[in-house]
Amino acid sequence: MTRKQVEKVDTTASTTIDDSRAEEAMSIAYDGVDPVPAREDIREAAMRPVLQTGKWWWTATITLSVVVIAGIFAWIMQLRDGLGSAGYNNQAFWAIYEADLVAFIGVTYGGAVVSAVLRLTKAHWRAPLTRIAEATALVTLPIGMMFIIPHLGESPRIWELVWPPYWNLSSPILWDFFAVSTYLLATMVFFYLPLIPDLKITLQRLSNGPDNIKTRICKKLYSIVGNNWVGSIAQRRTLHGALGLISIMIIPMAVSVHSVLSFAFSSSSRAGYLETIFPVLFVVGALYTGVALVIVMAAAFRRGYGLERYITGKHFVRLGFILVALGAAYLYLTFTEYLVDGYSGTIGNASWVYQTILGRYWIPFWFFVVGAGILPLAVLAFKRLRNTKGIVTASVIVLLAMWVKRLVIVIPPATEPLIKSPLNTANATWGTYHFTWIPIFITLAATAAIPLLMLVLFKFVPILPVAEMEEMAAEDGGLEEDLSSPDKNYYSDNRQIKRIPKMTERQVRQNVRY
């Protein structure tokens, strides 16, 4: 630490003490002391899931586990009987697993939006949601990646994707694999870094709690990194710098993941797959469903662990507005896609657009339009519906309708016959995908795995980002005021963590806790 930097900090310090002592005090304040006062209520609420295990927790976990095990059983059945048992055929070669892949990797984007975008835009209200959002991303991304396994016809050979001599670098699927892996690493780092201060808090709480195998293992693991946290300004700034950098990195990474995923479809000459709008459409759709899943998960865990004081109705309204903005964008992009293809009027495009909108796929298509296009707009437009219950219901329907939309994206172009008389297309037969129980069970298992893994995850880490929330609370106005005052303008809230509260020497000494 250079002299100049100390002096800069010095100007913020109290002038009631002489220079040499002030300098020493400030270096203590800077290097060794946590300037942010602890908030016992937040710590208690955040540690509630770790320390308490209710009866409903066991009920939920066991129920969800049963669904997951049923899905694994279905997958074993598929391994035994071949991919044909999942309802595929040569004229419907891509269907439900590919839609699942898009949908489940898509919902990870909630973490990127709530954590990274709102961090970069300094939206302080995001603080209580970040841990849930990042945990959702962390949990759903491996589940989404897992869909590669049933999707592959010869899944035991999946190791070939990490074997460089076999890499074909012009393949979108390979780059998809690269992009998702990188995004997974970024998500893990992004989850891990803000967790370091909270691990220290968890360590303290676990020491007071019961002593069993779980707490002993946790203490051992957490003390590797957690004990290094003292909460000094230096550490906080390091953490904020790293998080800012990763926030910036993770957004293009998230964009790349779904762009490359869409290239897998559009790297063909099939009408309905060859769309230049696909990367944008996929990314916006992923952000859309990601926010919807964060809303649903935040509502569920708020209810389950009684976090209403920190995750308030206002959070849901704000997330709801983000949801609607993304939903409107998605609807617009879909409209553009169909309109342009309809105009082109080539045989492939014309029959594909017709069959999707009015032909054999009209029911799922219009279910999407109503469920994911119009409904969230309506919910946010009417003040009577614009509440937590309405927004969460809309989010659930959005998730369902967007999954159906992914089926509508994947199945019609894959089932369109490619060899047909241009002047007499009546003889061309469309392929049909037949739903069977196996992919439906696997999809349900993946859906159940999201809350299951999050329930388990929050047995080990605090559900609220304690350090971050304490920082927000220590700033002017404080967290509670933010949340409780109804008429505060949150969007002009540009305060930054650089403005560490002023402290006198006495306060510094009082705050030395470690």
Partner 1 sequence: MFATNLQRYRQCHTGRSRVALTAVAMIVGILLAFIDTSVAFGAQSVSNYSISLNAAQVPSNPKQVTLTAQVSATGRTGNTTGMTVDFYLAASQFAGQFGGKAPLLLVGTAKTDASGVATVTYSPTWKGAQSLTAQINDASGNTLATASTTYTAGSASFPFKGTLQSKRPDGMLGRWVGGILLGILAILWLMLIGSAVRVNLIFKRTSHRYAR
Partner 2 sequence: MASNRQKVHLPDRAGTGTDRGSGNIGLPGVATDQDITPDKDGTKNHSGISRRHFLERAGIVGIAGALAGGGVLEALTEHKAAATTGTAVHSDDDAPAKAKHQWCMVIDLRYCNGCKVCTMSCQTAHYLHKDQTWIDVFTMKNASGNTYYMPRPCMMCEDPPCVPVCPVKANFRTDEGLVLVRQDRCIGTRICMNACPYQARYFNWGPPKSAPRQPFPQEPQWPVPQVEGTVGKCIFCAAMLPMGKIPECVGNCPMDALYMGDLETDVAVNASGQVIKLSAFLANNDAVKFKESYGTHPRVFYILGHDQDLDNDEEAG
Q: Which is nearer to partner 2, 20 or 496 (CB)?
A: 496
Beta-bridged to residue 116, according to DSSP, are none
Assigned token pair, 144: 């989404």
11 binds partner 2 (CB under 8 A): no
Stretch that binds partner 1, among 31-39, 208-216, 316-324, 369-377 (CB under 8 A): 31-39
Count Cβ atoms below 10 Å from residue 223 Cβ, excluding itself: 13
Q: Which of 117, 186, 286, 322 binds partner 1 (CB under 8 A)?
A: 186
Q: Running DSSP on this structure, what letter comes out for residue 367?
A: H
89 contact choice in partner 1, partner 2, none (CB below 5 to 8 Å, kind-dependent): partner 2
> Is 79 within 8 Å of 149 (Cβ atoms)?
no
Please, is 384 exposed, middle or buried when counting C-beta atoms within 10 Å of its C-beta (0-12, 13-18, 19+)?
exposed
Contacting residues for 440 by C-beta, under 8 A, at least 6 apart: 96
Is residue 88 within the footprint of partner 2 (CB under 8 A)?
yes
Residue 32 binding: pick among partner 1, partner 2, none (C-beta 5-8 Å cut-off by kind): partner 1
Residue 123's binding partner out of partner 1, partner 2, none, with CB under 5 to 8 Å set by partner kind: none
Find the shortest distance in angstroms from Cβ 362 to partner 2.
Answer: 24
Footprint (CB under 8 A) of partner 2, residues 329-368: 344, 346-348
Residue number, 226 or 373, with CB nearest to partner 1: 226
For residue 166, with 0-12 CB atoms within 10 Å meaning exposed, 13-18 middle and 19 or more buried, which class applies? exposed
Length of the chain: 514
- Cβ closest to partner 2, residue 207 vs residue 425: 425
Q: Indicate whether 245 belongs to the interface with partner 1 (CB under 8 A).
A: yes
272: left (phi over 0), alpha (psi -120 to 50) or beta: left
Q: Rounded to an integer, what distance in angstroms lies between the CA atom of residue 110 and that of residue 295?
A: 9
User: Pattern 411-440, binding to partner 2, x per CB under 8 A?
Assistant: ---x--xxxxxxxx-xx-------------
Contact partner at residue 264 from partner 2, partner 1, none, CB < 5 to 8 Å by partner kind: partner 2
Of 73, 93, 192, 437, which one interacts with partner 1 (CB under 8 A)?
192
Does the footprint of partner 2 cover residue 169 (CB under 8 A)?
Answer: yes
Helices (H) and strands (E) in the chain, counts: 23, 0
Residues 472-501 that bind partner 2 (CB under 8 A): none
Helix (H, G, I), strand (E, B) or coil at 453: helix
Which is closer to partner 1, CB of 170 or CB of 494?
170
Residue 423 near partner 1 by CB under 8 A: no
268 conformational bin, left if phi > 0, alpha if psi -120 to 50, beta if neither? beta
Angle of helix 40-51 versus helix 278-305 axis, rounded to 10 = 90
Q: Taking contact as CB under 8 A, which single stretch among the options 121-129, 188-196, 238-246, 435-443 is the one that binds partner 2?
A: 238-246
Closer residue to partner 1 (CB): 109 or 177: 177
User: Which residues, at least 6 apart from 108, have a Cβ–Cβ distance to it below 8 Å?
Assistant: 136, 137, 140, 141, 144, 183, 187, 254, 286, 290
Cβ atoms of 96 and 71 within 8 Å: the answer is: no
Binding residues vs partner 1 (CB under 8 A): 28, 31-33, 168-170, 175, 178, 182, 185-186, 189, 192-193, 196, 225, 227-230, 232, 234-235, 238-239, 242, 245-246, 249, 253, 512, 514
Binding residues vs partner 2 (CB under 8 A): 1, 5, 30, 81-85, 88-91, 93-94, 151-155, 157-158, 160-161, 164-174, 177, 234, 237-238, 240-241, 244-245, 248, 264-265, 267-271, 273-275, 344, 346-348, 414, 417-424, 426-427
